[in-house]
Structure 1
Amino acid sequence: MSWLFGYKSQVPQMPPPPGAEGGAPQEPGSAGQAAGDQNLTKAERKAMEAYRFDSSALERAAEAARTLERSKHAREALELSKLQESTRQHEYMAKVKEYEAHIESSKVDQKRVDHEERRKTLAEETKQQQQRAQYQDQLARKRYEEQLAQQQRVQEENIRKQEESVAKQEAMRRKTIEHEMELREKNKMKLLEAELRAKAKVDRENRDLTLEQIRLKAEENRITVMEGIKTAGSVLGQGATALLTDWGKVATTVGGLSLLALGIYSAKGATGVTARYIEARIGKPLLVNETSRFSLLEAVRHPITTIQRFKAKPTDALHGVVLQPKLEERLRDVAIATKNTKHNKGFHRNILMYGPPGTGKTMFAKKLASHSGMDYAIMTGGDVGPMGRDAVTAIHKVFDWANTSRRGLLLFIDEADAFLRKRSSEHISEDMRSALNAFLYRTGEQNPRFMLVLASNTPEQFDYAINDRLDEMVEFTLPGLDERERLIRLYFDKFVLQPAAEGKKRFKVEQWDYSMVCSRMAQMCEGMSGREISKLGVSWQAACYASENGVLTEKMVLDRCDAAVRQHRQKMAWLSEQEKQDHKSITGGKGYVIES
């Protein structure tokens, strides 16, 4: 151990070689050391070589230390050495701090990694739990569906068993009834047989009495007839003798018989003429369903309506009728021409109005007659077919009745294609052909007394001769957006606002934007006809009457409109199916089919 620069240093002591006994250490390379090294094992020699060093360098260092201690700069050198050692200590501490900071950062990173792993683990566990919950839910649903299916099967099985039981009971009841009827029939037959046997026995026993009664009755009848014949012969003989002997009586008898025959035939003819006159002037034909022409019978039945009809003034032909602008312009020209024709006693033109149902054809026909100062009469083409052979007579009566009108008559035939269809069609009977021929005969020429207006949804079925008698054809189309909005506003005012303003019981209207709702409903009611929109107005009234407080709300109006739209679509679907079936029935199931 030695002191170097004021520090105590330890010098490792070499272990003495085996066999050495004190004394100074041997010089390296000496014979004793060599002998000792030879006696050591390989491991011991390797350990000895680690402790071997050059002692001369240590001596030189010790000499330098002593020289430095004697030098005048020894203290500065010592301070410098301390400063260097302190610097190394600070650097070491800084490295230690850096290492600790690195360790803390590693710990933070490890915690972050652990936290991320934990979060991923939780997310994965959550996902697994969700999947497990979904799987359990699917299993529960499957079990529930299986239970429902099992219950359905059980119910079907129970229903089947009940039906079988009911069928068996019905069969047993039927057999019982049949057996009872058979027994009853047998009893009746036995009873009847017994009665017949008893009656036959009584007849056999009373045969002599019965024969005697028959003989007496026959004898009495014969005597009575003979006496009657004798009396009638004597009376007729005496009358004929008296008549033939007096020629004045003969002439009187002949004249009386002649006058009697003439009176009978004259009364019969006069009665027929009078009946036809009364029918033409007072009554109306059987085919006419509705008319504005004055009738004594109708006046007696409805006096107030008749008086109001006489007081009514001619109105605009398009008043209350909402159509497309071009169609309104054309119909207005027709109305003006018809009115001037009536005033000038000219020949009226025949018009065909065709289009979907509910588009205002009948309404315009009535307005046209009122505007022109004419009477109107409405008949339906479907009423002609059931009349059979009487259809021809009925048609002639209609035209005879129309010719007797003093104001002029507008004869409106709705669904005219029902009996005016092509004569070449296989679906028309002989009676219908006869009715069509009678109609063609009465409409062969223009007439100043009546105007013919036909309405049809399928004008392509008309006979060609009918088309030849038409002077003008007007197509009535479904209302567009603007027309639907006008119709909805018209019927909303008529069926909702006016009754509410009149203060009717249980009829009030909640405050909301009527204009916006009417515009919205006009967009919803695409494809609907005017008649369907008018029925929608009636449904608003029904909804208000059916409500608890009698107040019509916006929701109620829109719900009724939505229900009407759904019903219209369903009707269109049914119509398409009916068209398909009609086409199949006409073509015999061959050819194309119109798609809906």
Structure 2
Amino acid sequence: MSWLFGVKTNPVPPTAGGDDGSNPPNQPTSAPLSKSERKAMEAYRFDSSALERAAEAAKTLERSKHAREALELSKLQETTKQQEFIAKAKEYEAHMEQARVEQKRVDYEERRKLASEETKQQQLRAQYQDQLARKRYEEQLAQQQRVQEENLRKQEESVAKQEAMRRATIEHEIEAKEKNKLKLLEHEMRVKAKVERENRDLTLEQIRLKAQENRITVLESIKTGGSLLGAGAQALLTDWDKVLTAAGGLSLVALGIYTAKGATGVTARYIESRIGRPSLINETSRFTFKDMIAHPLKMVQKLKAKPSDALQGVVLQPTLEERLRDIAIATKNTKRNNGFYRNVLLHGAPGTGKTMFARKLAEHSGMDYAIMSGGDVAPMGKSGVTAIHKVFDWAKTSRRGVLLFVDEADAFLRKRSSEHISEDLRAALNAFLFRTSEQNQKFMLVLASNTPEQFDYALNDRLDEVVEFLLPGLAERERLIRLYFDKFVLQPASAGLKRFKVAEFDYGTVCSKMAKMCEGMSGREISKLGVSWQAAVYASEDGVLTEKMLLDRCKNAIHQHKQKMAWLSEQEKLDHKSITSGKPLNI
């Protein structure tokens, strides 16, 4: 079956007479062909009838009016088939190109894996070599250490032997000296005994004469004393006026001794309560008799001084400053009107200004301040109760009133149910609670603590105001840095001190920058930073404070602050976090 110009043609079977078309036309018939030759000829056999029908169809098509359209259609079909063949060829070429790219990618991946494996093997070999080198080095060190230990042992044995020989030599010398001393002493004793035997009669005679003279002297003294006492007794007994005078004199002497002793004790206690300072008070603005004599000008200046602002030089948060100012005004008016003072608890992180505010509060209200530490009570033992009573008795004698500031109050005012409190400390706590059980017009109690949750519950009942001091924020840190920069840098520089100058730079910008850097630092740490600025100037070669020196000292202070925080134990970190977190504590 075949197609010609789009027309289907069928092959014609071979004729019965054997004319299968194997012999070309107009040629004579040759000899019969073999089987292989016939098979070869069949490959070129074609159906001539089909060509005839095709020619007939072509003639019919030419005579048809659609012949041209059919020819064009056949051309278009042939063109379409050629384009499809070209597209398939290009698609085949694209597939081949993609196969080549994929093969290159596979080859590259294989090379990469091979390189990675080689690198890994090299690393393993390097690690193995390093381990071998380390083992060899450790073995060398161990060998050296064994050699050193052996040498040290031999040296110690040699030194021990030398020391033993030295001790034996010294002992032998001492023994020889002792023997020589014994022999010399024995010789001296023999000589002395021989001399004494030779002079025995002379010695006995001298002793006999001395004893006789001593006996005569004693007898004469007894006789003389007896005669004098007898004459005096006889004269006294015969005259009753003398007897009464002697008895009265002795009675007056005894009465004077006991009276002077009692008056001295009373006077000493009075002076101690009125003028002296109790042993628990570490610092006070109240002048003692000794201070009056030693510093009379300060006493006069203090009497003439006017009350100062309670928050002067104290930098705190605005809300806290407002509350403390209210407390200061109330305390001042309470003193003026002779009212009852209110007890205050100041709690918060160390170095946040609690002690400074207590001093300022006393000066502002016109009172005397007295500072004691709670840690001083425990070492006093049983005498702690007496010392507590002396403090309150001393405070009551003040005409101006006393602001008693107890720093680290939780050291002895902790819970009485605690296992860590001794009987003596419990007794001191009871004495303190007894003396503060009622409101007072003579003294004001201000307590400071970092851990107020340890206070005894009875003490919490004595507190009227609870104020929390937080670490300074950004605005407060900038105010503090500017304050201490003016105090420790600008004022000394403007005073014309030698080797103290300040370079030209923007002070305000540097202070703001340092305030951002000093996050988490307390007011005390920032004040120490100001002192370190002065130390930097004094340690410099030209005595000029530069911006770099300021920032370096600030970075050093921040590093020290972080190091101190790292030293805290876990429990201390929790306590410090609870103090600095800003959460109110339940007391």
Q: Give the TM interval when normalised to the shorter protein.
A: 0.5 to 0.7
**In 2, distance between residues paired with 1:555 and 1:319?**
31
Change (3 A) 1:160 1:353: farther
Higher mean Cα deviation, 422-431 or 245-254? 422-431
**In 2, distance between residues paired with 1:577 and 1:165?**
49
1:273 is aligned to 2:262:
no
1:370 is aligned to 2:359:
no
Shift of 1:485: 2.5
Shift of 1:394: 3.4
Shift of 1:219: 7.1
2:491 alignment partner in structure 1: 498
Shift of 1:148: 7.8
1:48 alignment partner in structure 2: none
2:253 alignment partner in structure 1: 260
The C-alpha deviation readout for 1:417-441, integer Å capped at 9, x for no partner, is 3333444545444544444444344
**In 2, distance between residues paired with 1:462 and 1:494?**
38
SS of the residue 1:411 aligns to: strand
The C-alpha deviation readout for 1:270-295, integer Å capped at 9, x for no partner, is 22233333334444233322221123
Give the alignment of 1:200-215 within 5 angstroms. Answer: 201=190, 205=194, 206=196
Counterpart amino acid of 1:573?
A: A
2:309 alignment partner in structure 1: 316
Shift of 1:216: 7.5
SS of the residue 1:406 aligns to: coil
Counterpart amino acid of 2:330?
A: A
Counterpart amino acid of 1:287?
A: L
Change (3 A) 1:188 1:242: farther
Equivalent of 1:551 in 536, 544, 550? 544
SS of the residue 2:568 aligns to: helix
1:574 is aligned to 2:587:
no
Equivalent of 2:513 in 520, 524, 543? 520
Higher mean Cα deviation, 228-237 or 352-361? 228-237
**In 2, distance between residues paired with 1:435 and 1:411?**
16
The C-alpha deviation readout for 1:75-133, integer Å capped at 9, x for no partner, is xxxxxxxxxxxxxxxxxxxxxxxxxxxxxxxxxxxxxxxxxxxxxxxx9xx99999999
RMSD value, Cα = 4.7
1:406 is aligned to 2:395:
no
**In 1, distance between residues paired with 2:344 and 2:177?**
72
**In 1, distance between residues paired with 2:242 and 2:569?**
84
1:284 alignment partner in structure 2: 277
Give the alignment of 1:137-536 within 5 angstroms. Answer: 160=149, 164=153, 167-168=156-157, 171=160, 175=164, 178-179=167-168, 182-183=171-172, 186-187=175-176, 189-190=178-179, 193-194=182-183, 197-198=186-187, 201=190, 205=194, 206=196, 231-302=224-295, 305-536=298-529
SS of the residue 1:543 aligns to: helix
Higher mean Cα deviation, 325-334 or 217-226? 217-226
Shift of 1:252: 1.0
**In 2, distance between residues paired with 1:464 and 1:200?**
84
**In 2, distance between residues paired with 1:220 and 1:172?**
68
Counterpart amino acid of 2:322?
A: E
Change (3 A) 1:295 1:248: same
How many residue pairs get aligned? The number is 479
SS of the residue 2:264 aligns to: helix
Normalising by the residue count of structure 2, what TM-score does the alignment of the two structures yield? Answer: 0.66
Normalising by the residue count of structure 1, what TM-score does the alignment of the two structures yield? Answer: 0.66
SS of the residue 2:326 aligns to: helix
Shift of 1:469: 3.0
**In 1, distance between residues paired with 2:185 and 2:423?**
56
2:40 alignment partner in structure 1: none
Shift of 1:255: 0.9
Shift of 1:176: 5.5
Change (3 A) 1:541 1:264: same
Higher mean Cα deviation, 198-207 or 264-273? 198-207
Counterpart amino acid of 2:536?
A: A
Change (3 A) 1:165 1:385: farther
Shift of 1:473: 2.6
Change (3 A) 1:373 1:250: same
**In 2, distance between residues paired with 1:344 and 1:201?**
99
**In 2, distance between residues paired with 1:445 and 1:279?**
25
Equivalent of 1:565 in 552, 558, 571? 558
SS of the residue 1:453 aligns to: strand
Counterpart amino acid of 2:342?
A: R
The C-alpha deviation readout for 1:206-264, integer Å capped at 9, x for no partner, is 48688888887777777666665555555444433433332222211111111111211
Shift of 1:531: 0.7
The C-alpha deviation readout for 1:36-67, integer Å capped at 9, x for no partner, is xxxxxxxxxxxxxxxxxxxxxxxxxxxxxxxx
**In 1, distance between residues paired with 2:408 and 2:117?**
73
**In 1, distance between residues paired with 2:135 and 2:546?**
46
**In 1, distance between residues paired with 2:216 and 2:460?**
79
Shift of 1:315: 1.6
**In 1, distance between residues paired with 2:211 and 2:428?**
60
SS of the residue 1:455 aligns to: strand
The C-alpha deviation readout for 1:291-343, integer Å capped at 9, x for no partner, is 21123422444455445434432121111112223322222222111111111
**In 1, distance between residues paired with 2:328 and 2:530?**
29
**In 2, distance between residues paired with 1:371 and 1:323?**
17
SS of the residue 1:285 aligns to: coil
Gaps of 5+ in 2: 1-111, 576-587
Counting aligned pairs with the same residue, the percent is 67
Counterpart amino acid of 2:281?
A: V
Shift of 1:365: 0.7
SS of the residue 2:569 aligns to: helix
SS of the residue 1:410 aligns to: strand
Counterpart amino acid of 1:572?
A: M
Larger of the two Rg values belongs to structure: 1
**In 2, distance between residues paired with 1:343 and 1:472?**
20
Gaps of 5+ in 1: 1-122, 583-596
Change (3 A) 1:312 1:255: same
Change (3 A) 1:249 1:375: same
1:49 alignment partner in structure 2: none
Counterpart amino acid of 1:186?
A: E
